[in-house]
Amino acid sequence: MPTAATSPLSIQELYDENFYRANNPDLNYLNSRDLYQQFLNFGINQGRRFSPYFDANFYRLSNTDLNSLNNRQLLDHFINIGLPNGRKFSQFFDINFYRSANSDLAGFDNIDLFRHFKNFGVAEGFRPFSPVFDINYYRNNNSDLQGLNYRQLYEHFQLSGMGQGREFSPYFDFDIYRARNSELTSNITTNQGLLESFLTTGIEQGLSASLFFDLNYYKSKNSSLSNLSNRQLFEQFQIIGLPQGRTFSRYFDFDFYRDANRDLGQLNNKQLWEHFQNFGLREGRPSSAFFDLDFYRSRNRDLAGLSDKQLEEQLITEGLDQGRSLSPFFDLNYYRVANGKAETLSNRQLWQDLQDVGVPGGQAFSQFFDLNLYRSSNPDLAGLSNEQLFEHFQNFGLAEGRTFSPVIDLNVYRNSNPDFTNLSNKDLFEILVTSGISGGSGGGSAVTQFFDPDFYRTNNPDLAEEGIVTDTQLLEHFQNFGLDDRGRKFSPYLDLDYYLANNPDLVTAGLTRREAFEHFQRYGLDERRPFSQFFDVRYYLDNNTDLRATGMSYRQAFSHFQNFGVNEGRRPSILFNPVYYLDNNPDLAARGMSFKDAFVHFQNNGFVEARSASVLFQPQDIAPLLFPLAVNETGDALDLRVNPPVTIVALPNWLQNVREWGDIPANGTLSYSFVGTAGAFLYEGSESNVREVPESVKNNVRNIMRQYDEVLGINVVEVADTPPNVGRIRIMFSNGPGQRGVPGYGNPPSDNPGTTLAGDVHLNPTIDYSQGPGSYNYQTLLSVIGNALGLQNPKKQTLPAVFEPVLSFGKDNNTNTVMTDNTPPQTYNGSFASTPMSYDIRALQYLYGAGYANETDTTYRFNTSNFGPTDLSGRNGLKQTIFDAGGIDTFDFSALPAVPFGYYFDMNEGGQNTTQIALNGATYIVPNPNSTDNDPLPPITLTTNSFSTTVAFSFSLENLVGSPGDDEILGNNLSNNIAGGAGNDIINSGIGKDTLTGGAGSDIFVVVAGQGSPNPENADIITDFVDGQDRIGLGIGLTFSQIVISPGTNSNDTFIRLARSGEYLAVLTGIPSAAITQSDFTAI
């Protein structure tokens, strides 16, 4: 630094008459010459201020080696020695700072530098000249001084502003310095004294003097500057650190301020800081991720009268210590509890810990915002630090609608509260935080598709005992504890335990329940993974063709069911049909249950109560086909869910204790193999003479396994039999069946993969199992393989059991199940089953869920080779069941020949499709249940279909094309398209908007009260009614007197309506109403 100058400073250059006069009003009577003489003769010695650029008192305070000098000597010392050597001489101008902050002046020596500031710098107004006095800050924060130029401002502060305590610096505040350093300032009575204290000793001691600038915090956040003294650090920040954007305050963040105020995006760091101090603070602009001024005002009504600047000052100086709510994005109380923070930490210390430890370490600090999930859900943000993520969410992510919580979706929250429709995401988030999840006047409490507070409350009654009762408390408990607790149910749409059990790769990967919850939301739903026994999105789309036609994704379908489908009564799975559930459980309908209520009730109560929930889920018909899990020595089935086990006395308990391959998840693999030579030699069972079955039998088994595979929710796959690596199901010949006097048997399944005999199928080598489909032996092969899958032969109440489900004799036949014992060729005269039948499929789908065979639009074309009849009598044909997972499907019988008495086609689930002669055209006998040894009674003869093609339960059949002969056709509750074809057909379309075409012949279209619609556009349409040839059949007691015939919307159409209710039963197209008379109707 230069220490000498060719032109020394003179007293005349220092002396400022106006300043001297303004500082010494008692001398105002003197003229200029006399005033100057007074200054030279007396003023200097009296210590009067005579220059805005030099202060003798400050010079003495800052240079203690000069304490013995009088004022004149001090002035001489300053001019000759102090200034050239760069000693401090003013509270308001620091020559060394001036040089450092203005690089274009670096070559000036101290005297020239002094002159430059005095003559130019102070007037220019842009050059920093003091580490504490900011002339622009002074002007911008004192609106009454806006008309002064920079030189006037500089002098104004010294003459009056300082005494008035005006704001002049972002680094020094009189009140703050006095309040925070009371032990040092208690004896200082003037503002000038305070400023002198700070400049001479306070800076070096690191004393707090500013609301926003914290020297000690700056030092702690910038370890590379640790070698600097506090004074050097103080100046380094303003000259270097500020432009670099170094962290210096807990209350101001350069990046946050820039991002939160997009209009300032082009400002550099220094300009940002100046903008905040001069404008942003007064405007209440957000400056930190760790408090929100608008939120603070709204949550603290007692502060409503404060300006934004006053409010921020109150927050920093008092609010933090008072424990007031600071931000919607964190909760200090939650942070303390969730992370075990010490109770001894004050609120301010806790807030500082959140900044220093909590957010950087990704610790939990809010029940509404999950920092770690925000990172994992937004891979484009992966490179951000936790602090940057936290700021990104507030400034961008929330407004962009990014995922930020595993249990909160603002769109769901908005949709459940119509009064929130026009609110921004931030407004909505703040309402959620302040009012809880039930805060809307609309009463909606949904905040996510994945958590239902009512469902959580009902399924976890222990929470009420702990005082956790409100929706918000339940949500908080779920996030903090419930999500990790196995077995806690929280949503009727997602079962986390089911998700883990049926996606073993997630378990293998070590995912916790919480991680699995996040995995489902991020990946599992889109990957079509199974997540519920009661809601199957794939089924939902496959069987709601209007949704599938829109191109709806799985995620959209998941949302659709919750927002619309569940309330519309749409079926979510093969297991549950809400319309059926309410129709067949009148006690629930009497309670006024909605479809959604019914869906929830079935999961919470109905399923375990074994209530009928669909045509498929008929517990009384499923249970008899399922092996009990365990029996005692007297043959009673045992409930193993309790310890010690108890005897099962009711159907619901039976259904919860059945044998299955329970360790195989949905879409998992069940293997089977054929025992070979090596396997036969090593066989561990008690059976002897174990050997391999021939290839012809293997092919039949493979065909049967394929049939089972198509209907099951697991994959049945053949593997090689090379011990110890063998299939879970093994097929072999042995002497076991012969010793038992049966053609074959299968061991029931087991949950334990190590149970080597479970699933073994033993065939009697004396039976020809190479016979193909339709033979009795093929039906037997279907049955014994059914054993290995978990099906048993229905019992006839022969064991002295306390309880055992029984399939009624009228159902126990091969039209319904291949497991029956009642259709041997000796006593049964119909066709034998060539596929698993409808009751078998239903029971197995209860165990393993349904497969997805033929889930697209499928047309099944039938002829005599794949349907029947196989002879002219029309009595014989194939006995089979067709399962179809979804799509718009059609049964086309147009290739069948006309037969005597015609055909019977039933499109309903479980419906039979056959000839009228074959319908109940076969007989079988069963033992009389009242027969005893002492009073023997003859067996009972019952009837069943000779042959038939059965519509599997859960198969929704939309369309049917009839045969060339006479058909009786029953539609279902879907919107059917039925074409009768040639012949005299009777078409009863059922409920739904159906399109009916009779075709050639005299056809009868049946109408029934209750099967129509209150609106004509949803009534059945009969496209080809021929007056005088076709007729309208009046079903179930309906009479012509109850009918109204009226013109249709089109004058050439006719409405058939009920007189009393106005219900539209049918629309006859192309037939004017005047042509329709009573003669066109007939009773059915």
Query: What is the predicted pLDDT for the residue at 376?
Result: 87
Q: Which helix (H) or strand (E) holds 220?
A: helix 215-221
Q: Extract the runs of DSSP E, i.e. beta strands, from 344-434.
A: none
Query: What is the predicted pLDDT for the residue at 232?
Result: 95
Radius of gyration of the CA atoms of the chain, in A = 45
Average pLDDT value for the chain: 93
Q: What is the DSSP letter of 328?
A: T
**For the chain, what are the domain ranges?**
1-91+111-124, 329-394, 628-848, 862-1083
**Residue % of the chain over a pLDDT of 90:** 87
Average pLDDT on 834-850 reads 97
* C-beta separation of 576 from 846 below 8 A: no
Query: What is the predicted pLDDT for the residue at 439?
Result: 58
Average pLDDT on 983-1002 reads 97
- The span from the CA of 755 to the CA of 555, in Å, is 39
Q: Write the CATH number of the domain with boundaries 628-848.
A: 3.40.390.10
Topology at the third CATH level for domain 862-1083: Alkaline Protease, subunit P, domain 1 (2.150.10)
Per-residue pLDDT tens over the stretch 699-721: 999 999 999 999 999 999 999 99
- pTM greater than 0.85 (yes/no): no
**Cβ-based neighbour number of residue 734 at 10 Å:** 25
- The span from the CA of 37 to the CA of 807, in Å, is 128
For residue 967, give every residue at least 6 positions away whose Cβ sits within 8 Å of its Cβ, in sequence order, or none: 893, 902, 903, 904, 905, 980, 981, 983, 985, 986, 987
Q: 342 or 799: whose pLDDT is higher?
A: 342
Closest CA relative to residue 303, chosen from 328, 322, 289: 322
Average pLDDT on 463-472 reads 92
- Give 416's pLDDT tier (boundaries 50, 70, 90): confident
Query: What is the predicted pLDDT for the residue at 128?
Result: 94
For residue 947, give every residue at least 6 positions away whose Cβ sits within 8 Å of its Cβ, in sequence order, or none: 830, 831, 868, 869, 875, 876, 877, 878, 879, 914, 918
- Across-strand partners of 136? none
Q: Which helix (H) or strand (E) holds 943?
A: strand 940-944
Average pLDDT on 222-235 reads 94
Per-residue pLDDT for 444 more than 70? no
Per-residue pLDDT tens over the stretch 130-153: 999 999 999 999 999 999 999 999
- Secondary structure tally for the chain: helices H, strands E: 52, 27
Per-residue pLDDT for 661 more than 80? yes
Query: What is the predicted pLDDT for the residue at 670?
Result: 97
- CA-CA-CA-CA torsion sign (1022, 1026, 1028, 1030): negative
Per-residue pLDDT tens over the stretch 551-580: 999 999 999 999 899 999 999 999 999 999
Q: What is the DSSP letter of 658?
A: B
Tokens of 708: 């089972």
Closest CA relative to residue 501, chosen from 531, 461, 539, 471: 531
Closest CA relative to residue 202, chosen from 218, 187, 181, 222: 181
- The span from the CA of 708 to the CA of 728, in Å, is 15
Per-residue pLDDT for 442 more than 60? no
